Amino acid sequence: MKKTYLNVLALLLAALMILSGCSAKPAPAPSEPATTPAEASTPAESTPAPEPAESTEPKHVEVLRIGTTSTNDTFNLTTQGGSFGVMNYNSFVAGLFWERDEFGKPQPGAIKDYSISDDNLSITIYLPENLYWHDGKQVTSDDIIFTFEYARDVLLSSRLKDIVLTRDGDYQATITFPEGDSAFAYVNGQTSWLKIYPKHIWENVADNKEYMGEDRVIGCGPYRFVSVDEDAQLATYEAVENYWKGEILVDKVTVKSYASQEAQIMALRNNEIDAIYNYSGPISATLFPTLEGDPNCDLGISPDPGNYMIMFGYNEAPTNDYPFRKAVTLALDYDLFGQTIYGKYYNIPTKGVIPTPNMGYNSSLPEMTYDPEAAKAVLEEAGYVDVDGDGYREDPQGQPLNVLITPQNNKSRAELLTRIAAVIADNLDKIGVKTTLDEESLTSREAWSARSENGGTYQIYIGYCTSGIASYIGAPMYIVNYTETGWWGTWQDPAYMDAYNKVRASSSFEEYEASMLELQEVIAEQLPAVSFAFGTSSFPYRTDKLDGWINFPGWGVINPKTWYTTYSK
């Protein structure tokens, strides 16, 4: 029997040793969270690219090794799937019409220039004469015309259904939108996404998604696809010689796919990759301690234009009632949300929902305040009182109140969304409001779609605005009830719709910013949504061998400029 005990003890010890081996490094103490907004770090400024010494030529990077969590399984210029698809947001293999700079503004991508007509209805695109497809054919205005026709007729972009296309020469074409539309809005909305398609390849392909021809990866961006090892999940790309935009400093790029962020971080620490890129998937704040203190790695912190937020459902009571919404916003512990979502790097949000780095951010709006006593008073005044003495409030009609918390259905964010929901539940419990987590929406995409899309029936919805979407209109787009778009918004307040449409119709950045300021004021007044925190994004990178990184806010150091600025030390 003694032997049996010893065996059991040995097994338990072995299990302990295995578990200890799983951890990253000898216990770094988890970061002490900031206790007050003032102590919370201001989102870091994006790191300007250190200029190489004037006297020496920047040294080319032989191979830039990028780690991502998108899989290396889809290689098709016309789709956005897999790592190939999301890498193309960085003007990579695909030639983009417009790419976004570090200040959030659209710049010409593979095209030489573009202009918008005075009536804000036409976009004229100018191509460089020395832009070539990766198979050697020249890119001409025929490809531009084809791209818009293909987007309209095959990819079924409803926005393009009434456009008029004009070929102005071999290297110039004009797209004219119908009256009431906005060319400026189109450019902003399509920046980072719209690619030029090669006519000679895709004109005879009816089902683009199923097309498996080898030429499906032909683009006109600065890199050409070389190979993929699907077993190793490693894709290889090489720089195009004499690319028209200038000298490419990164000769070769490998994109390795990892199953999780933890694996990515370990790969970065072990010098298997140089930088991390996940479209709109910054590294979780809970992973910061594994990199903090590593002299060869930088967390790549930048202010995040995207954000997590509550959207209140206007199709359901009590969230269609302003006093109830106000009480909820007063009951939320924004510091705790900041710590839960962003670790140490966050600020208390303002009432305008739109985070600080976005164009048109309204800095005049007040910060959200955590005041449960004020929240209780608001509820009392509005008739939400505890009638039956069970510790929870009933609605003004005396009916039991049980507010549903519906998190967005998102596998990679499920744990964080659940934690956010737990904090909301606790905060509302403290003011006597009973809540239930909508577990079905969390685990079933069908249940979530039914609950949230096309005039949703949610009450408190936890959503996430990606940094990509945030760069143009962003969070307000999710709030508005435009049922034809299939988004989740349920609000149709006339003042808001008016301001929202002004943003959509704006013809310049000045107009855009002015309309955005107005939009945020309406949000602050009516509280259809509330941001949990204005935080930061982290896309870590190594600093020991490479330099010249430019950290785009919310996007990271892998961006359209990487290929031209990163150099070997």
**Closest C-alpha to 312, from 420, 483, 461, 521:** 461
| Binding residue (CB under 8 A) for other proteins from 147, 257, 278, 339 | 339
Specify the stretch interacting with other proteins by CB under 8 A; choose among 12-20, 88-96, 202-210, 525-533: 12-20
Residue 38 makes contact with other proteins by CB under 8 A:
no
- ∠ CA 339-345-347, nearest 5°, is 80
The three-class DSSP label of residue 51 is coil
- Least Å distance between CB 23 and other proteins? 4
| Binding residue (CB under 8 A) for other proteins from 440, 511, 513, 521 | 440
Residue 130 makes contact with other proteins by CB under 8 A:
no
Question: For residues 279 and 282, what is the distance between their CA atoms, to the nearest angstrom?
Answer: 8
Instruction: Give the DSSP per-residue string, 436-455.
Output: EE-HHHHH-HHHHHHHHTTT
Longest dimension (CA), the chain: 92
Instruction: Give the DSSP per-residue string, 81-112.
Output: -HHHHHHGGGSSSSPBSEEE-TTS-EEESSSS
**Contact in structure between 59 and 566 (CB atoms under 8 Å):** no
**Closest C-alpha to 393, from 378, 371, 406, 413:** 378
Residue 284 makes contact with other proteins by CB under 8 A:
yes
Spell out the residues 6+ positions from residue 430 whose beta carbon is closer than 8 angstroms to its own. Answer: 331, 372
**Contact in structure between 542 and 549 (CB atoms under 8 Å):** no
| Binding residue (CB under 8 A) for other proteins from 426, 446, 510, 544 | 426
Q: Describe the crossing of helices 183-190 and 494-505 by its angle, rounded to 10 degrees.
A: 90
Nearer to other proteins by Cβ, of 189 and 282: the residue is 282
Half-sphere exposure of 418 (CA within 13 A, CB side): 11
- Least Å distance between CB 457 and other proteins? 19
Nearer to other proteins by Cβ, of 26 and 295: the residue is 26
Question: For residues 72 and 234, what is the distance between their CA atoms, to the nearest angstrom?
Answer: 7
- Least Å distance between CB 365 and other proteins? 27
Nearer to other proteins by Cβ, of 205 and 423: the residue is 423
Residue 442 makes contact with other proteins by CB under 8 A:
yes
Residue 17 makes contact with other proteins by CB under 8 A:
no
Question: For residues 319 and 306, what is the distance between their CA atoms, to the nearest angstrom?
Answer: 24
Residue 29 makes contact with other proteins by CB under 8 A:
yes
Residue 13 makes contact with other proteins by CB under 8 A:
no
Nearer to other proteins by Cβ, of 200 and 419: the residue is 419
- Least Å distance between CB 229 and other proteins? 27
Residue 519 makes contact with other proteins by CB under 8 A:
no
Residue 439 makes contact with other proteins by CB under 8 A:
yes
| Binding residue (CB under 8 A) for other proteins from 174, 257, 290, 537 | 290
- Least Å distance between CB 30 and other proteins? 4
What is the torsional sign of CA 392, 396, 399, 405? Answer: negative
**Closest C-alpha to 558, from 294, 279, 245:** 279
Specify the stretch interacting with other proteins by CB under 8 A; choose among 237-245, 381-389, 438-446, 481-489: 438-446
Question: For residues 567 and 61, what is the distance between their CA atoms, to the nearest angstrom?
Answer: 5
- Least Å distance between CB 434 and other proteins? 13
Residue 497 makes contact with other proteins by CB under 8 A:
no
Residue 135 makes contact with other proteins by CB under 8 A:
no
| Binding residue (CB under 8 A) for other proteins from 215, 251, 262, 316 | 262
| Binding residue (CB under 8 A) for other proteins from 37, 128, 289, 396 | 289
- Of residues 394-423, those binding other proteins (CB under 8 A): 414-416, 418-419, 422-423
| Binding residue (CB under 8 A) for other proteins from 3, 17, 26, 363 | 26
- Least Å distance between CB 344 and other proteins? 11
**Residue 293 exposed, middle or buried by CB count within 10 Å (0-12, 13-18, 19+):** exposed
Phi, psi angle pair for 189, to nearest 5°: -70, -25
DSSP state for residue 516 in the 8-state scheme = H
| Binding residue (CB under 8 A) for other proteins from 196, 265, 328, 368 | 265
Where do we find the tokens 């299939």? 486
Residue 449 makes contact with other proteins by CB under 8 A:
no
Q: Please give the single-letter amino acid code of residue 153.
A: D
Question: For residues 496 and 475, what is the distance between their CA atoms, to the nearest angstrom?
Answer: 13
Residue 443 makes contact with other proteins by CB under 8 A:
yes
Specify the stretch interacting with other proteins by CB under 8 A; choose among 24-32, 107-115, 125-133, 358-366: 24-32
| Binding residue (CB under 8 A) for other proteins from 6, 14, 20, 169 | 20
Residue 37 makes contact with other proteins by CB under 8 A:
no
What is the torsional sign of CA 375, 381, 384, 386? Answer: positive
Where do we find the tokens 């905060």? 427
- Least Å distance between CB 13 and other proteins? 11
Specify the stretch interacting with other proteins by CB under 8 A; choose among 110-118, 149-157, 170-178, 287-295: 287-295
- Of residues 461-480, those binding other proteins (CB under 8 A): none
| Binding residue (CB under 8 A) for other proteins from 340, 481, 490, 565 | 340
Question: For residues 127 and 112, what is the distance between their CA atoms, to the nearest angstrom?
Answer: 5
Applying CB under 8 A, the site for other proteins has a residue count of 45
* Helix and strand totals (H; E) in the chain: 18, 23
User: What are the structure tokens assigned to 148, written together?
Assistant: 């818009």
Enumerate binding residues for other proteins (CB under 8 A).
Answer: 1, 4, 8, 12, 15-16, 19-20, 22-31, 33, 262, 265, 284, 286-287, 289-290, 333, 336, 339-340, 414-416, 418-419, 422-423, 425-427, 437, 439-440, 442-443
